[in-house]
Amino acid sequence: MKNADDRNFCLADYDAIGFDLDNTLAKYKLVNLMNLIYETLCELLIKRGYSKNIKDNLCTHKDFICKGLFLDTEKGNILKLSHDGKILRCSHGTRMMDKAEIISVYGQDLQWEHFEEAIGCVKFHGEEYKYRLFETYFDIPAIVCCARIVDVLDEENGGPHDKYDFFKDVYDAIGDFYFPPSEGEEGLLFEGVRKKPEKYLQPCSNGVKDWLMELKGDNRVVFLMTSSKNRYAEMVVETVLGSDWKNYFDIYITYAKKTGGFFTKNEKFKEKEVTGKEVDSLEPNKTYSGGNYTDLKTFLEKQTKKSDPKVVYFGDCLCSDSFPAKVYGNWDVVLVLEEMEAEGYHPGLKDVLEPKRKVPKHEVNLYIDPEEEQYILSEGWGSFFYHEEEDPKHDKHMNTYWGRIISRYNAIAVPTVEYIAGMPINHRYKKFKESEVGNTDGFYPGKPKSLLSNI
């Protein structure tokens, strides 16, 4: 029989607590962010020679926007997958395909040929870029760019192409937008957000700030680790936490290449800037760039005075946060997943949240913009978590590709950090059962409506 620690999650049990920044501690105003990204990517692609017709009003395609879709780069198709690799829904460009057409392209069993690679390594793109997945609010608008390119190319060709080769241009445009090739140079995202940070970023509540300070008690180490470059990260964290943001953390790590070898390679940490001096050991209350898991672990051991400190990491990205942190770092992960809130809960949510009202700890902000929900939800693609046609037993387990990833690599999932910040740090939460595909136990404060029976 498993003990209580195997079945429950509690922040007070950890020696070190780490936070991703973008879309985790820093909540973006998604409508403004997505429009900025989409319009800028379109302009970059138009400069590369693509038709101006690829650019449209993103609002007209908001139902097409959906987290977790795959682009089949050579076929120009966009896919939603089940937990075992079956194609659940598919579009060619922005045009949704019916089942007969999907079968004509992918075969009677609808099994996607790249599934084993995608489920095994959980990377953003496949070998030779045969596919690309879109799983963060930073890259989801690019799926509309890709779909519009297919639409325009087909229109110019008088019908679908036998093979498409546009994705390399999209990939390069995304790179220019976020990570330009010159070291120390900031991308267009930084330029766009810097002009008016309050347009794109939502400040953390005072409750989150109080909670972060409380987490530092009992000799606990609290660290910030983001993939963003230093100048952008400092602008974002100062906007959401204030000019005294460094007080909330014991160490700050920027440009951590979490999917590019942070956990598996031995790249040296550098002092603050990407071009800074390499260091052999880390010191508290300093900012570092790049780095590796082994040196960070050594720092955490020294600060906590424990040989193998227990670490939990908060992140929003299943590819760059959940998978590498769990598999290579053996960290537990709290997934921040705004789709939970957008899809909604049981009408009786008051009963679920009642324990929180009995033990109030910090005053937090649980508001979500209704317009954001329209960009997060998609009637055309369906639930991020569940597909009814693939649930003949009606047992409401997560049966999408991402549902499988959620339950396997995360301890719990919350809609925003604000939800967990409102609770005492010794509160115990039910964990996902990673051995059970599509398990739904770890959602807090409740399961999304799509996973509830009789709703």
Secondary structure (3-state) at 417: helix
Burial of 266 (0-12, 13-18, 19+ CB in 10 A): exposed
Residue 265's φ and ψ, nearest 5 degrees, are -115, 180
Instruction: Give the β-pairing of 221-225 and 251-254.
Output: parallel
Contact 189, 196 (CB under 8 A): no
Contact 74, 130 (CB under 8 A): yes
The residue annotated as part of the active site, out of 5, 6, 13, 20, is: 20
Contact 222, 211 (CB under 8 A): no
The residue annotated as part of the active site, out of 15, 22, 151, 321, is: 22
| Residue 189 CA from chain centroid, whole number | 17
Distance between CA atoms of 392 and 395, rounded to whole angstroms? 8
Instruction: Identify whether 20 is a catalytic site residue.
Output: yes
How many CB atoms lie under 10 A from the CB of residue 61?
A: 17
Instruction: Identify whether 308 is a catalytic site residue.
Output: no
| Element housing 49 (H / E) | none
Q: Which two tokens stand for residue 204?
A: 């953390």
Instruction: Give the β-pairing of 332-336 and 287-290.
Output: unpaired
Angle between helices 167-178 and 30-47 (to 10 degrees): 120
What is the torsion angle, in degrees rounded to the nearest 10, for the CA atoms of residue 169, residue 175, residue 176 and residue 177? 110
The closest of 12, 25, 15, 406 to 225, measured between CA atoms, is 25
Q: Which two tokens stand for residue 163?
A: 């093979």
Burial of 140 (0-12, 13-18, 19+ CB in 10 A): buried
Residue 345's φ and ψ, nearest 5 degrees, are -120, 180
Residue 184's φ and ψ, nearest 5 degrees, are 85, -15
Distance between CA atoms of 50 and 168, rounded to whole angstroms? 13
Q: What amino acid occupies position 331?
A: W
Distance between CA atoms of 378 and 144, rounded to whole angstroms? 13
Give me the half-sphere count of Cα atoms (radius 13 Å) on the Cβ side of residue 312.
20
Active site residues: 20, 22
